[in-house]
């Protein structure tokens, strides 16, 4: 329908979604990390561990490179998932069955691509010492 109207579907459909994946994935990762620290501190409080000891352990264990690495991976994964979803969506045929098939293909392809990108990221991190 967009092509018939003379519009570029990549510009109007794909690009905004890929950019959203680029921006939102690191934000969701930061949110999940904060929830994790909060729930861990709550668990430590329930078990009687002083929060000062818990936060001291967290601050002594987590380094800036870990945070940067995690946010970089989240950004890459966000772009990969959005790109694969858009690719499979653009390949969808007509009818409800085609949508279901494309959705399944998008999920499976995203899982495979995340595994591949994570492997490449691990290899590059190991080789560069990052």
pLDDT tens for each residue of 56-114: 999 999 999 889 999 999 999 999 999 999 999 888 888 889 999 999 999 999 999 99
CA torsion 43-49-52-54 (nearest 10°) is -50
pTM of the entire structure?
0.82
Confidence of residue 3 (pLDDT cuts 50, 70, 90): low
Of the CA atoms within 13 Å of residue 112, those in its CB half-sphere come to: 8
DSSP element (H, E) containing 32 = helix 15-46
In this structure, what token pair is assigned to residue 121?
Answer: 């990221």
């Amino acid at each position: 329908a967009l092509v018939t109207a003379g519009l570029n579907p990549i510009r109007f459909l794909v690009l905004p979604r890929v950019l959203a994946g680029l921006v939102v994935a690191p934000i969701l990762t930061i949110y999940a990390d904060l929830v994790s620290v909060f729930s861990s501190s709550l668990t430590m409080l329930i078990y009687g561990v002083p929060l000062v000891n818990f936060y001291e352990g967290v601050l002594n264990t987590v380094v800036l490179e870990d945070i940067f690495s995690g946010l970089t991976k989240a950004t890459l994964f966000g772009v990969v998932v959005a790109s694969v979803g858009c690719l499979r969506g653009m390949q969808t045929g007509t009818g409800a069955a085609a949508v279901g098939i494309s959705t399944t293909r998008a999920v499976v392809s995203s899982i495979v691509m995340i595994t591949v990108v994570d492997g490449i990221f691990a290899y590059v991190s190991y080789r560069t010492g990052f």
